[in-house]
Structures are given as structure tokens and as C-alpha cells.
């Protein structure tokens, strides 16, 4: 089965799918080893790791695609939902983006309706007109036929255009053939319920990390509300940053490592030193 076929099969099973957010080879490898079947290649995590900065449309297609290659090579069995952002341009750019990720082995890709380039402010998410958004999703669905990659259609217009417009876009994306729907920034459970109803039985996706300007139910609550997938953009990268800070503080205090450090043997095992030696034995001469 291809990655998209495996993703479809996973989504057809009962139960809520918890999808960690990854950004590089190590985060992907650890996610697989922890028993997760799927992960989200998060634009916010890639921006944080590559730029040390915020997710404000500063990351390019090339940088995101390169991050996907790292993730896929380190964890080839992990079903990756790639953050395709706004497709990096118009409908033709969307098609290029979708085809590239599909050919590279992504299971699904997110395409959203934010305006690009964004206004020079960190606040707000103004969105393109509804019919332009329709054409982007139509283009994505058409391009997806080459590889079977699933299309996750996202609307960000709830904060700027209101709930009714956001719901209308979810219904429109369903009509255009999107596989997964994402109504960003719901205000409360009532809006969540309306968005899930608008998806007409197709899987609904949610961001479940706390701290955003949105309702953030727990995994159990999300499942009860009708969400099929939840991702956690700060779930790993935030504690990783805390660990880095702890390591730096320990070194600054004259220590060799922080109390959070893995034992040396576990660290080497995590990185695969033993597996390398086992594989290399086949090629040793003399």
C-alpha cells in the first residue's frame, strides 16, 4: 500500500488519531519508536527549528520540502501530513506543491486560504476571496490524482470574516473533493459542532496545543465532539527547547550535563550506533 492508501485505511478505523508534530529526522524517528503511525510536518515547528523564529510565512517551499525529505528518510514508515501552507502562490503553485509532496511520499498535505504575501503584521489571518479559495482546493484535488495524496483543506477566515463564511468554505471544500477538513480558530464547542457537521462525514482535523486563540479541547473531548485527528504543534518542540535551555544552564553553571540528559548508553542507542555497527559488519574487509 502507498502512504496515502495507508492513511485512508487509518482514518477509516474507529477511534481518534493523535498526530504529533515533527520537524526533522530525530523528531520523526522518536515519534515512530513511540508507536505513532502518523505525524504532522508542522510549519511552525520547521520555522522554529530552522529560523529560530515564528511561523509568519517566512519559511519557503524549498525549506519545508527539505524538512519533509529529512523526516521521510529517518522514518520511512511514518505517514506524514505535510504542511503545504497556502501552496506558495496561486492555483498553479498549489498543483506544483501537491505533486512534489505526493511524489516524495507524503500521505497527505494541508492547503489553506490565507492571503500571501501576508500583511506586515504578526496579527490576524486575512484570507483570499471564497472563489479563489475554491480554485486552490480544486487545483489541489486535481493534482492529488497523480499520487493519491490526501488533501486537507483549511480555512483561516473565522477570526476575520466570521463563522458563517468559515462554515461556507468548509462546505465548499467538501464539494470540491477535499479528504480532510480544518476549521481553524473555533470559538467554542458549538462552533466545533457546526464545523464538523459541515464536513458531512469527512474527517475533521484540529490543533490541540494550548495557547492559541481557539477552543482547545483535550484528546478525549475532541473525540467526543467528533474530531478524527488532532495535532500538537508545541507538544514536542516546546519541551525540546526547555531541555536545550536546561543543558545550557548546566554548562554555564560548570556542570557537564543537566539532570534531563539521557544516560550515555541510551543516547547512543537512540541515535543508532549499534544498528550501524550491525549493518557495517557485512562490508568489513580483512
- Summarize pLDDT for 120-158 with one digit per residue, the tens: 877 778 999 999 999 999 999 999 999 999 999 999 999
What pLDDT was estimated at residue 86? 96
Domain of residue 41, CATH code: 3.20.20.60
Identify any residues that bridge with 116 across adjacent strands, giving them in sequence order. none
| pLDDT tens digits for range 228-247 | 999 999 999 999 999 999 99
Please check whether residue 184 is in contact with residue 85, taking contact to mean a CB–CB distance below 8 angstroms: no
Q: Is 151 helix (H, G, I), strand (E, B) or coil?
A: strand
What pLDDT was estimated at residue 252? 98
Number of domains in the chain: 1
CA 203, 112, 27: angle at the middle one, nearest 5? Answer: 75
pLDDT at 51 over 80: yes
What pLDDT was estimated at residue 101? 98
Q: How many angstroms separate the most distant Cα atoms in the chain?
A: 73
Return the DSSP state at 281. G
Is 250 contained in some domain? Answer: no
Please check whether residue 151 is in contact with residue 98, taking contact to mean a CB–CB distance below 8 angstroms: yes
Please check whether residue 20 is in contact with residue 235, taking contact to mean a CB–CB distance below 8 angstroms: yes
Q: Is 154 helix (H, G, I), strand (E, B) or coil?
A: strand
Is 286 contained in some domain? Answer: no
Give mean pLDDT, residues 16-41: 98
What pLDDT was estimated at residue 46? 98
Q: Strands of 17-22's sheet, edge to edge?
A: 180-183, 150-155, 108-112, 79-83, 38-41, 17-22, 229-232, 205-207
Is 195 contained in some domain? Answer: yes
pLDDT at 215 over 90: no
- The pTM assigned to this predicted structure is 0.96
| pLDDT tens digits for range 160-203 | 999 999 999 999 999 999 999 999 999 999 999 999 999 999 99
Question: pLDDT band for position 116 (50/70/90)?
Answer: confident
Is 277 contained in some domain? Answer: no
Which run of H or E residues covers position 180?
A: strand 180-183
Query: How are beta strands 205-207 and 180-183 bridged, if at all?
Result: unpaired
What pLDDT was estimated at residue 213? 77
Is 251 contained in some domain? Answer: no
How far, CA to CA in Å, does 74 sit from each of 12, 28, 139, 209, 244?
26, 7, 30, 25, 22
Q: If you compute the radius of gyration of the chain from its CA atoms, what whole number of angstroms results? A: 20
Average pLDDT over the chain reads 96
Which run of H or E residues covers position 250?
A: helix 237-252
Domain that includes residue 39, residue range: 10-240
Is 159 contained in some domain? Answer: yes
What residues have CB less than 8 Å from 239, skipping those under 6 apart?
none
Please check whether residue 5 is in contact with residue 208, taking contact to mean a CB–CB distance below 8 angstroms: no
Question: pLDDT band for position 249 (50/70/90)?
Answer: very high
Is 207 contained in some domain? Answer: yes
What pLDDT was estimated at residue 148? 98
Amino acid at each position: 500500500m502507498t502512504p496515502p492508501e495507508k492513511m485512508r485505511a487509518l482514518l477509516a478505523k474507529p477511534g481518534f488519531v493523535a498526530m504529533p508534530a515533527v520537524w526533522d529526522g530525530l523528531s520523526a524517528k522518536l515519534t515512530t519508536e513511540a508507536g505513532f503511525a502518523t505525524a504532522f510536518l508542522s510549519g511552525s515547528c520547521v520555522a522554529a527549528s530552522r529560523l529560530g523564529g515564528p511561523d509568519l510565512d517566512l519559511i519557503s517551499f524549498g525549506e519545508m520540502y527539505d524538512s519533509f525529505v529529512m523526516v521521510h528518510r529517518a522514518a520511512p514508515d511514518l505517514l506524514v501530513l505535510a504542511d503545504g501552507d497556502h501552496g506558495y502562490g496561486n492555483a498553479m503553485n498549489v498543483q506544483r506543491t501537491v505533486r512534489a509532496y505526493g511524489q516524495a511520499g507524503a500521505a497527505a498535505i494541508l492547503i489553506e486560504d490565507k492571503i500571501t504575501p501576508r500583511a506586515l503584521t504578526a496579527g490576524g489571518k486575512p484570507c483570499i476571496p471564497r472563489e479563489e479559495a475554491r480554485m486552490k482546493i480544486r487545483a489541489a484535488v486535481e493534482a492529488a490524482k497523480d499520487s493519491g495524496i490526501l488533501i486537507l483543506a483549511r480555512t483561516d477566515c473565522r477570526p476575520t470574516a466570521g463563522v458563517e463564511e468559515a462554515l461556507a468554505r468548509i462546505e465548499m471544500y467538501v464539494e470540491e473533493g477535499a479528504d480532510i477538513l480544518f476549521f481553524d480558530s473555533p470559538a467554542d464547542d458549538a462552533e466545533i459542532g457546526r464545523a464538523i457537521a459541515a464536513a458531512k462525514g469527512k474527517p475533521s482535523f484540529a490543533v490541540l496545543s494550548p495557547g492559541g486563540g481557539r477552543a482547545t479541547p483535550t484528546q478525549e473531548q475532541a473525540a467526543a465532539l467528533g474530531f478524527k485527528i488532532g495535532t500538537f504543534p508545541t507538544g514536542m518542540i516546546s519541551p525540546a527547547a526547555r531541555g536545550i535551555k536546561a543543558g545550557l544552564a548546566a554548562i554555564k553553571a560548570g556542570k557537564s550535563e543537566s539532570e534531563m540528559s539521557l544516560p550515555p548508553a541510551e543516547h547512543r542507542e537512540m541515535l543508532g550506533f549499534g544498528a550501524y555497527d550491525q549493518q557495517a559488519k557485512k562490508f568489513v574487509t580483512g
